[in-house]
Amino acid sequence: MIVLKTSRELSIMRKAGKISQKALRLAGEAVEPGVSTWEIDKIVRQYIESEGATPSFLGYSGYPASACISVNNVVIHGIPSKSTILKHGDIVSVDVGAFYQGFHGDNAWTFPCGQISEEARALLEATEKSLFLGIEQARPGNRIGDVGHAVQGYVEARGYSVVREFVGHGVGAKLHEDPSVPNYGTPGRGVRLMPGMVIAIEPMINVGKPGVKILDDGWTTVTQDGSLSAHFEHTVAITPDGPVLLTALD
């Protein structure tokens, strides 16, 4: 069931989104060689709580931290740890959600740690671009397949692959609502987008093959072939005037 949001609810979601985005930026500023992913998680948690919000992921299905921090071949759901120390040349995907006055915001970004390889730089650029091409399709009258097709077409034309096992989602009073938002699809297919819908668009893009596997901790999701992976996400409201980013600062 897709829950449409009223304009009053959207203004609360805008605040949840703003807190999520600020937390993500603080995490990005903390990314540097020698820093542990546990330290970055602590920065995220302290900021979100200082705003009177709670971290959306903490305790979600038993998830043990506030952020997911996924380095290099880790696609998503990397668990912050004192023993994961960032190194020069890493790419670091940080995923953060904040729950504020009954609603969630959800966003992610992949940050370079120091100087990164040309292969890594090009992956980040293409994945970020694909997110914004997907967002551009998130308007009334279009369908979910238009969003996924925009992402898939752009990245596959550059030789990258789209992760299939994990997808974007509706966002609202629950972190994960209908509809599912795959990063692949057929134009003109799938759920029709309507004003009041809020979706998280979140391409997860691999340099190598699309396959992933989940490690024994039940969360950490890595590329099967060991290749680099990037993840960018925004929470987007569908409005009569087109897409509006909720996870943005002013």
Residues engaged in binding Co ion (CB under 5 A): 106, 200, 202
Q: Which of residues 77 and 143 has its CB atom nearest to ligand MF3 in the complex?
A: 77
CA distance 223 to 192: 32
CA distance 49 to 226: 35
DSSP strand pairing (234-239 vs 229-231): unpaired
* Number of C-beta neighbours around residue 21 at 10 A: 22
Number of chain residues interacting with ligand MF3 (CB under 6 A): 12
Does 67 interact with ligand MF3 (rule: CB under 6 A)? no
Return the axis-axis angle of helices 7-30 and 37-50, rounded to nearest 10°: 150
Does 95 interact with ligand MF3 (rule: CB under 6 A)? yes
Residue ranges in 102-141 that form contacts with ligand MF3 under rule CB under 6 A: 106, 108
CB 112 within 8 A of CB 26: no
Return the residue of 25, 32, 63, 208 that touches ligand MF3, per CB under 6 A.
63
Does 41 interact with ligand MF3 (rule: CB under 6 A)? no
CB 161 within 8 A of CB 212: no
- Beta partners for residue 43, in sequence order: none
Tell me the closest approach of the beta carbon of residue 4 to Co ion, in angstroms: 19
Residue 41 interacts with which of ligand MF3, Co ion, none, CB < 5 to 8 Å by class:
none
> Which residues would be at the binding site for ligand MF3 (CB under 6 A)?
57, 60-61, 63, 68, 77, 95, 97, 106, 108, 169, 200
